[in-house]
Chain A
């Protein structure tokens, strides 16, 4: 799924969670709560009721005052990677599906490498039970390799997700779903629901270059493979320009919706290599250098 060079690249990156972790188990993520851990944090005077096991006796010997030694609490974080496996993801030149699947694999790898609890699934409800540690990489890739784009999916699938845990929920999709009336689907309710479940939504849009800048022209019959709807159009430069404006408006709506839910919006193209995908994540603040 990923090459050795790409794994080396990923080893220098880490996920940048915004929300506080609330893992069930101790992990490697810094927690805002002080706790025992190998990493020193600070000193503070002892007050009655404090855990006397945290008193620094060496400091008492030197200063003759009771001082507590504080450590950084490390907890596990939860990463939910939600992949859009609808039929539209197979379109584009180059197709979006391989790029989206590799992006999901990379994000999952970052979570597993940081001992996060990683859950991988699709918008249509398929998912892999939570994994933790690098031992889960093989199972994750096996799950991803078994997926093929088919069917239809949209924001309703995201709203209905039950397997996602509080933490970061990265949705990798083209976000080009339509509602029943053929209008652009509204992702705001679904993102609000995700936020309400204490999840930080990250929308990662993957489009093909010919979807960013269509080069089709002439009298064509456009077919949506998910809805099976078609429309006859005469594609001209003016029409393509309007398409570009509509795409920009769609992205603007997605960014506003994700920020309203405390999340972020990222866009990258299917012809980009993993390094460029990761750079987009770095710029959006979803990733950081480890």
Chain B
């Protein structure tokens, strides 16, 4: 037993005050009556000549003293250590994946799930607690376990659905952490079953109840919008519902309706279209699917027809055909390959040094591959066998769509990531790819790609493209990014500030060095205005929702891979303090009611 607020004992001063009040006589108002005779049978045998009276035993006095005692006890907040968790704890997993934007529930699936969570919060019984976990790209604890429904409601006020999928394993892991040591807890998953399925079936420490939200599977989407040649666009329209649909695709060129394409799509299939009437001078093409369906974010697609600006890349190597080829895959990139002995700094947008580091200051931006021992922006150490290749952070923008599971590295240099650098690809023994945070933009691969099977993997050209997006200034221009994906905004040389305008008109002002732009939850065209010496440079990029797994909105389509296990049988470790004040306050209320009844009976 412990007292959390011992100062509350000061409330005990009320006890002598109550007794003092019983010594005092009541000052009664005087009423003149014609006679006391008729009232005589009810006269109290007390004379009003003295302000004090003898203390008389009274049930009311006893009840009031007991109530004061209980109030004092409640104010000092007594608690029993190690007995927490007696009250039931409910953890609500709130699915915030993009499919929760479907409008087959009012106002939409996410809104309905929030309303249901709010309803659960408002119906908490005394002693019960609730925690809320928002499952988006990352699961986050929205509200720690609390019995305060107002706090839970306040946390729910600021949530909104994300643009990607949700990580069920992460959410359950967080729920397990909360419920650890709280026997009698439960987990409620509110969603449409489109969470990213865990690789390994997760373990749960409490019963999990899946409450599906939504019912419809009627959704179509524009899966692909790309250039197929001069004046021709390629579209793929998918129907994720069971019933065939006759749809129309409205084609807008620079905001003006240019064409309407009818398309018939069978259930659970897709149809490909070619549009050959692209105006020659059109800069922005928008395809809009009609009629609308339950999920609107996949009914639109945008394409910026302008080619990214030409970028000059100097590859300094004795021989690295893999890298030269990978670099040249990116549109607008012109690769110049020179031997180290012929290296001369020039007007290049990017330098790639393969097994070579120029003397003096390293030109920027630069990608350094397998620098000689003791050289390089991050000095290379002795060679080691790095072992398994792992992503340091799977959500690093440089590793988007890069699958490293079948990549092996034979030998790499032992390096230690200095301050200001982050490890992108790690191995057991040492980092394999490091990137400098912010300016200057420099990256270093600590191994010779010829001593690995990386160039033979699909991950290689994607990794190189991601590196180019990061290292090349303006790598985002006219590009298309997935909804919610961070966009690496490389500032032009000399840029003092960068304004990013979202499709809904919000402007974010950034200053170099630029962190990845993360406010990409709204699909559409984003404008970028860079203030450079002599004026401003305008560019655009597109964010759109393309995720067939989330466009397939039928609830419950994804299995919930939950398996019960013995964890819930493990006795809870004593933790926290069980506060007793709610019971004391309940006792006070009972006493107050009893006092009132006694008073009424006395009358």
Q: Which residues of chain A from 71 to 97 have any CB-CB distance to chain B below 8 Å in the complex?
A: 88, 91-92, 96
A221 and B37 contact, CB distance less than 8 A: no
Query: Residues of A contacting B30 with CB < 8 Å?
Result: 220-223, 230
CB pair B31–A222 under 8 Å, yes or no, is: yes
- B36 close to chain A: CB less than 8 A: yes
- Closest chain A residue to B36 by CB distance? A224
B44 and A176 contact, CB distance less than 8 A: no
Scan residues 152-183 of chain A and give those whose CB is less than 8 A from a CB of chain B.
174, 176-178, 182-183
A176 and B42 contact, Cβ closer than 8 Å, known pairs A220-B28, A221-B29, A221-B48: no
Question: A182 and B48 in contact (CB under 8 A), knowing A88-B35, A91-B34, A224-B35?
Answer: no
> Are A219 and B26 touching (Cβ within 8 A)?
yes
Tell me the complex Cα distance, A238–B38, Å. Answer: 13
**A51 interface residue (CB < 8 Å to B):** no
A174 neighbours in B (Cβ, 8 Å): 34-35
Query: Does A239 touch B at the CB level, under 8 Å?
Result: yes
Residues of B within 8 A of A230 (CB): 30, 36, 48
Do B36 and A231 touch across chains, with their CB atoms under 8 A apart?
yes
B41 at the interface (CB under 8 A from A): yes
Stretch of A5-13, A118-126, A191-199, A240-248 contacting B (4+ beta carbons < 8 Å)? A240-248
Q: Identify whether the interface residues of B are mostly helix, strand, loop, or mixed.
A: loop
Known: A91-B33, A234-B603. A222 touches B39 (CB 8 A): yes
- Is the pair B36, A229 in contact by a Cβ cutoff of 8 Å? yes
Q: With A233-B42, A239-B42 in contact, is A178–B26 under 8 Å at CB?
A: no
B40 contacts which chain A residues (CB < 8 A)?
182-183, 231, 246
- Tell me if A56 is interfacial: C-beta within 8 Å of chain B: no
> What residue in chain A is nearest B43 (Cβ atoms)?
A231
A183–B35 CA distance with the chains assembled, in angstroms: 10
Contacts of A234 in B (CB 8 A): 44, 603
Interface size grouping (class) on chain B: 20 to 34
Bound CA–CA A224/B37 (angstroms):
9
> Smallest Cβ distance from B42 to chain A, in angstroms?
5
Question: Which single residue of chain B is at the shortest CB-CB distance from A185?
Answer: B37
- Residue in B closest to A208 when the chains form the complex, CB atoms: B34
> Any chain A CB within 8 A of the CB of B32?
yes
**CB-CB nearest in chain A for B48:** A232
Proximity string of chain B (515-545) to chain A, C-beta cutoff 8 Å, 1 when within and 0 when not: 0000000000000000000000000000000
Query: How far apart sit A219 and B43, CA to CA, in the bound complex (Å)?
Result: 11
CA distance A174 to B39 in the complex (A): 15
Q: Chain B residues near A247: list those with CB within 8 A.
A: 38
B39, A243: Cβ atoms under 8 Å? Answer: yes
Q: Hey, which chain A residues are within 8 Å of B42, CB to CB?
A: 233, 239, 242-243
Indicate if the CB atoms of B39 and A231 lie closer than 8 Å: yes
Assuming the contacts A91-B32, A216-B31, A221-B48, asked whether A238 and B37 have C-beta atoms less than 8 A apart, the reply is: no
Whole-angstrom distance between the alpha carbons of A74 and B41 in the complex? 52
Q: How distant is the Cα of A248 from the Cα of B32 in the complex, in angstroms?
A: 21
Q: When the two chains form the complex, which single residue of A183, A184, A223, A236 contacts B32, counting CB atoms closer than 8 Å?
A: A223
Q: Is the CB of A225 within 8 A of B44?
A: no
- Given B33, B47, B603, which contacts A222 in the complex, CB threshold below 8 Å? B33
Is the Cβ of A233 less than 8 Å from the Cβ of B33?
Answer: no
**Contact call B38/A243, Cβ cutoff below 8 A:** yes
Proximity string of chain B (37-64) to chain A, C-beta cutoff 8 Å, 1 when within and 0 when not:
1111111101110000000000000000
CB-contacts of A202-234 with B (<8 A): 207, 211, 216, 219-225, 227, 229-234
Instruction: Please pick, from A96, A183, A225, A237, the residue contacting B37 in the complex, using a CB distance under 8 A.
Output: A183
Cα A238 to Cα B39 in complex, Å, equals 12
Q: Which partner residue on chain B sits nearest A174 by CB separation?
A: B34
Question: Are A184 and B43 within 8 A (Cβ)?
Answer: no
**Which of A183, A220, A230, A239 gathers most chain B CB within 10 Å?**
A230
The CB with the most chain A CB atoms within 10 A, among B26, B34, B40, B42, is that of B34
Neighbouring A residues of B36 by C-beta, 8 Å: 178, 182, 222, 224, 227, 229-231
CA distance A243 to B43 in the complex (A): 11
Q: Is the CB of A250 closer than 8 A to any CB of chain B?
A: yes
Contact partners of A178 in chain B: CB under 8 A = 35-37
Q: Are B44 and A182 closer than 8 Å at their CB atoms?
A: no
B31 & A223 in contact (Cβ 8 Å cutoff): yes
Contact of A88 with B39 in the complex, beta carbons under 8 Å = no
Contact: A221 with B31, CB < 8 Å?
yes
Q: Does A242 lie within 8 Å of B33, measured CB to CB?
A: no
Known: A230-B48, A236-B603, A238-B603. A225 touches B41 (CB 8 A): no
A223 to B32, CA, bound (A): 5
| Complex interface: chain A residues within 8 A of B37 (CB) | 176, 178, 182-184, 246, 250
Give the distance in Å from the alpha carbon of A27 to the alpha carbon of B29 in the complex: 56
Q: Which of A176, A219, A236, A237 contacts B35 (CB 8 A)?
A: A176
Q: Quick one: given A178-B37, A242-B41, are A232 and B46 in contact (CB under 8 Å)? A: yes
- What A residues does B47 contact at CB under 8 A? 232
Question: Which residues of chain A are within 8 angstroms of B43 by Cβ–Cβ distance?
Answer: 231-233
Scoring B28, B38, B47 by chain A CB atoms within 10 A of each residue's CB, the highest score goes to B38
Interface string of B201-226 (1 = CB under 8 A from A): 00000000000000000000000000
Give Cα distance in the complex from A183 to B37, angstroms. Answer: 6
Residue of B nearest to A249 (CB): B38
- How far, in Å, is A37 (CB) from chain B's closest CB? 47
Residues of A within 8 Å of B603, CB to CB, are 234, 236-238
The distance in angstroms between the C-alpha atoms of A178 and B39, with both chains bound, is 12
Min CB gap A215→B, angstroms: 11
Are A232 and B28 in contact, CB atoms less than 8 angstroms apart? yes
Closest to B33 in A: A222
B residues 239-256 with Cβ under 8 Å of A?
none
B14-34 contacts to A (CB < 8 Å): 26, 28-34
User: CA of A207 to CA of B36 in the docked complex: distance in angstroms?
Assistant: 15
Shortest CB distance A181–B (Å): 10
B110 to chain A, nearest CB (A): 59
B330: min CB distance to chain A, Å: 92
- Distance between Cα atoms of A65 and B35 in the complex (Å): 70
Closest Cβ neighbor of A179 among chain B residues? B37
B residues less than 8 Å from A222 (CB atoms): 30-31, 33, 36, 39
CB distance from A71 to the nearest CB of B (A): 50
Cα separation A227 to B47 with both chains bound (whole Å): 15
Given A232-B44, A232-B47: 15 more A-B contacts, CB < 8 Å: A211-B34, A219-B26, A219-B28, A220-B29, A222-B30, A222-B33, A222-B39, A224-B36, A230-B30, A230-B48, A232-B26, A234-B603, A236-B603, A243-B42, A246-B39
Chain A contacts to B: CB under 8 angstroms: 88, 91-92, 96, 174, 176-178, 182-184, 207, 211, 216, 219-225, 227, 229-234, 236-239, 242-243, 246-247, 250
Q: Give 7 nearest A-B pairs by CB, closest first.
A: A176-B35, A88-B34, A221-B28, A246-B38, A231-B43, A236-B603, A184-B37
The 29 sampled A-B contact pairs (Cβ below 8 Å) are A91-B32, A96-B34, A176-B37, A178-B37, A182-B36, A182-B37, A183-B40, A207-B34, A211-B33, A219-B28, A220-B30, A221-B31, A222-B33, A222-B39, A224-B35, A229-B36, A230-B36, A230-B48, A231-B39, A232-B26, A232-B43, A233-B39, A233-B42, A233-B44, A234-B603, A239-B39, A239-B42, A246-B38, A247-B38
